Amino acid sequence: MNAQFRSFFKRTPRLAITNPLLAAVALLIACLLAYGLWLPRMGFYWDDWPWVWLSHVSGPASLFKIDQAHRPLAGVVLWMSYQLAGVKPLNWQILNLAYRWLGGLALFWMLGKLWPSHKSQVLWVTLLFLVYPAFDQQFVSVNSSRHILPQAFFFLSLGGMILGLRRRQLYPWLIALALALGLIAILTTEYYYGLELIRPVLIWFILDKEEGFFVRLRNTFLFWLPFLVMLGFAFIWRYRVSLSVNYPVTIIASLQTHPFPTFISSITQILKNGLLSTYSAYALLFDLPNPLVFGQLNVRLYWLLVILSTGLTALFLFFDRRQSQPRGWWQPALSLGAVSLLVGSLPFLATNIGVNLNFPQNRTLLPMMLGSSLLFVSLIDGLCRVRWAKICLVACLVGLSVGVHFKNSLGFQKDWEYQKAFFWQLTWRVPGLKPGTTLVTTDLPEIHSTDNSLTAPLNWIYANHPLSDEIPYLMLFLRLREEQNLPYLRNDLQLNTRYGAFQFNGSNNNILSFYDNYPGCVKILHPKFDARLPQLPLPLKRSLTLVNLDLINANPPEPASLPLEIFGPEPEDNWCYYFEKADLARQIGDWQKIKQLGDEAFQFAAARQKASENAPFIQGYAYVGNWRRAEELTAETLKIDPNLQPMLCLLWRDITKNASQSIQKEHTLQSLQIILNCSGN
């Protein structure tokens, strides 16, 4: 049987995947399996928002100013990308995937020039690089594009240098091109400063036929010298501007004041970063999805993708044209991988930025992807003697990595659905908003964005016009900025802050607090009726003394609207739509409107997540004299959540005091006294 098996595959034609075109197709398929299938469901996340919003309100040319002091070409990348993608999330997702693929192609080309007799191993390294499991910010398409595209320039720079050393007649031109590409990468992002130090290792490999160790060492230094000068000038420039920009270089001062402890801690941190970007990163492959968390359907999709990706990778690599390649590739590859891991995190060490697997810090793993991929493939190639076993191991790593990215994609899909629901509900509840308003909450669940990020779409929605140098609205997360921005119980305090190139001028008199107890609806907090809302975080309870509902314009001439090209069409009426509209009507005392909304809303009651959302309807029915419905709804609410009893008592005290007297009212109050037992509350 084994003889027949071998005979069959000997007769089977091999695919010449060392052909660059076929390799490019393989890399594209890997990108699509890992990321591309889910792009239509993705949106904007985290720091995507400020950059896209800035181009909208100030024009695309304003992007040139982003991080201009320490990343002068980052804005150029965003401007160029904006010309191609505009403000549509799908366009940005496709473009960023193209950048990732270009980076893979550049790496494949560079390693192919370094090791021309080992194209199969080079393809394995590139595949692992493209689906590296610990970097999950591919879908943060706007912000990460300015770090992913320079990666391609960096690899092209390395490849140009290698090609120049192999073709000495073209050396001056190719080295000039390599210097230019390297400078573009350096001036776009500081992420690859450390990886510049692998150049002498590459040169050392290429000069393997030099006679004598010291001759080879001297020539390595001479060929590296132009790039060393470039890197030296870049670092000096970056250090000089670091005190006035984000992410200042702090390690120099530490070395001056505490040289030995700083040196020891730096070495320790470098080793920890290397271990984290290899062992810890690939340990994610074995964190299998829990059906209770992801659902049975998604778990089945996960395994389908893993099996499909593993099978396609193994099939493609197995039918690679076999070549009589000299052994010994794994030793230099292992050396290059180890050096890459040691120097890759130096930029973050210098600026005291932690390297870890959590969002958003895992963006720091971008320069570690090369070393990690080289390390794993070199170990597989060196420890396994049988070719099919090597291919199976590589294929399994690729397949499981695709599975990790599928799990990540579920989180980003949920995030985007949540963001869309949040902003739609906000516009239903707050159709108009007075300038100078600050929206505060403790935090928003299920999303990757912070208050700084969401301030951009907030202003886009409520101030959809060009701005001069001020923004009218600000969002604050009390978890991050409570003590800094909101000294409680003190009115008339100014709340002024910078937002990029813009200024926000507000005060503690202009506060709206909201609570988004997901999966419930967004709730603009009422300073009176929500004081007894159970499980309301303490910072939000404190903020109720500052809430001013008069900041909401219930009938503005131009109600707030979401940009169609970003958020898509308005969803069909649902429970949260009726709740938000009823809560708005309660604010202005339009009880008849609440009654009309309630008559329609409760056909969607099955979608209601929080019984407390019945509150405006209870008041509405009571104030229009439908006492029976108000009583039924109160009893139903208390049955669903007995913890709402203090809040319901507060509502009924207000109704008792302000609703018109009638016999039905007295009967209802007597019945509710038994049901609610409000004495003492």
Quick one: pLDDT at residue 348?
92
Quick one: pLDDT at residue 211?
74
Binned at pLDDT 50, 70 and 90, residue 66 comes out as: confident
Q: Which residue in 587, 505, 402, 411 sits closest to 30, CA to CA?
A: 402
- pLDDT mean over 337-356: 92
Please say whether the beta carbons of 312 and 29 come within 8 A. Answer: yes
Q: Which residue has the tokens 């590139």?
A: 126
Alpha carbons 667 and 650: distance in angstroms, whole number: 19
Cis upstream peptide for 360 (omega within 30°):
yes
Q: Classify residue 547 by its DSSP letter.
A: B
Q: Is 496 helix (H, G, I), strand (E, B) or coil?
A: strand
489 burial (CB, 10 Å; 0-12 / 13-18 / 19+) is: exposed
Terminal Cα distance for the chain, rounded: 83
- pLDDT mean over 295-322: 90
Name residues whose C-beta falls within 8 Å of residue 522's C-beta, 6 or more positions apart in sequence. Answer: 422, 425, 426, 429, 514, 515, 516, 576, 580
- CA 476 from chain centre, in angstroms, equals 19
Least confident among 249-253, 320-324, 449-453, 529-533: 320-324
- pLDDT mean over 592-599: 92
The one-letter amino acid code at 603 reads: Q
Give pLDDT tens digits for 663-681. 888 888 888 888 888 875 5
Answer whether residue 224 shows pLDDT above 80: yes
Alpha carbons 192 and 153: distance in angstroms, whole number: 10
- Provide the 10 A C-beta neighbour count for residue 4: 7
Alpha carbons 369 and 32: distance in angstroms, whole number: 19
Q: Which helix (H) or strand (E) holds 419?
A: helix 387-429
Quick one: pLDDT at residue 662?
83
Name residues whose C-beta falls within 8 Å of residue 103's C-beta, 6 or more positions apart in sequence. Answer: 130, 148, 149, 151, 152, 155
- pLDDT mean over 119-128: 94
Query: Can you name the residues that pair with 441 across neighbouring β-strands?
Result: 477
Alpha carbons 508 and 510: distance in angstroms, whole number: 5
Give pLDDT tens digits for 274-284. 999 999 999 99
Phi, psi of 555 (to 5 degrees): -135, 65
88 burial (CB, 10 Å; 0-12 / 13-18 / 19+) is: middle
Please say whether the beta carbons of 398 and 128 come within 8 A. Answer: yes
DSSP 230-291: HHHHHHHHHHHHGGGSSS---HHHHHHHSHHHHHHHHHHHHHHHHHIIIIIHHHGGG-PPPH
Alpha carbons 597 and 590: distance in angstroms, whole number: 11
Q: Which domains does the chain have, with CATH numbers?
A: 15-413 (no CATH), 430-571 (no CATH), 573-681 (1.25.40)
Phi, psi of 552 (to 5 degrees): -90, 125
Quick one: pLDDT at residue 2?
53
Please say whether the beta carbons of 144 and 362 come within 8 A. Answer: no
C-alpha dihedral (624, 629, 632, 638), degrees to nearest 10: -40
Quick one: pLDDT at residue 233?
92
Quick one: pLDDT at residue 325?
59
Q: Is 387 helix (H, G, I), strand (E, B) or coil?
A: helix
Per-residue exposure over 616-626, b if at least 16 CB sit within 10 Å of its own CB, e if not: bbbbbbbbbbb
Q: Which residue in 672, 581, 664 sits closest to 624, CA to CA?
A: 664
Quick one: pLDDT at residue 6?
52
Quick one: pLDDT at residue 73?
92
- CA 330 from chain centre, in angstroms, equals 35
Binned at pLDDT 50, 70 and 90, residue 324 comes out as: very low
Quick one: pLDDT at residue 491?
62
Name residues whose C-beta falls within 8 Å of residue 17's C-beta, 6 or more positions apart in sequence. Answer: 23, 26, 120, 123, 316, 317, 319, 320, 321
Tell me the angle at which helices 387-429 and 369-383 cross, rounded to the nearest 10 degrees: 150
Quick one: pLDDT at residue 193?
94
Quick one: pLDDT at residue 255?
81
Binned at pLDDT 50, 70 and 90, residue 8 comes out as: very low
* CA-based torsion, 202, 206, 209, 212: positive or negative: negative
Binned at pLDDT 50, 70 and 90, residue 12 comes out as: very low
- 125-134, 229-238, 555-564: range with highest mean pLDDT: 125-134
- pLDDT mean over 469-480: 87
- pLDDT mean over 552-567: 92
Identify which has the larger pLDDT, 81 or 210: 81
Q: Classify residue 367 by its DSSP letter.
A: G
559 burial (CB, 10 Å; 0-12 / 13-18 / 19+) is: middle
Answer whether residue 399 shows pLDDT above 60: yes
Number of H helices and number of E strands within the chain?
29, 8
Alpha carbons 623 and 664: distance in angstroms, whole number: 12
Least confident among 1-10, 38-47, 415-424: 1-10
Q: Which residue in 132, 131, 124 sits closest to 108, CA to CA?
A: 124
The rounded mean pLDDT for the chain is 89
Quick one: pLDDT at residue 1?
46
Q: Is 505 helix (H, G, I), strand (E, B) or coil?
A: strand
Q: Classify residue 550 by its DSSP letter.
A: G
DSSP 162-183: HHHHH-GGGHHHHHHHHHHHHH
Least confident among 3-12, 460-469, 479-488: 3-12
Least confident among 6-15, 118-127, 263-272, 326-335: 6-15
- pLDDT mean over 432-461: 90
Alpha carbons 158 and 164: distance in angstroms, whole number: 10
Q: Is 57 helix (H, G, I), strand (E, B) or coil?
A: helix
Please say whether the beta carbons of 580 and 522 come within 8 A. Answer: yes
Alpha carbons 105 and 136: distance in angstroms, whole number: 20
Percent of the chain exceeding pLDDT 70 equals: 94
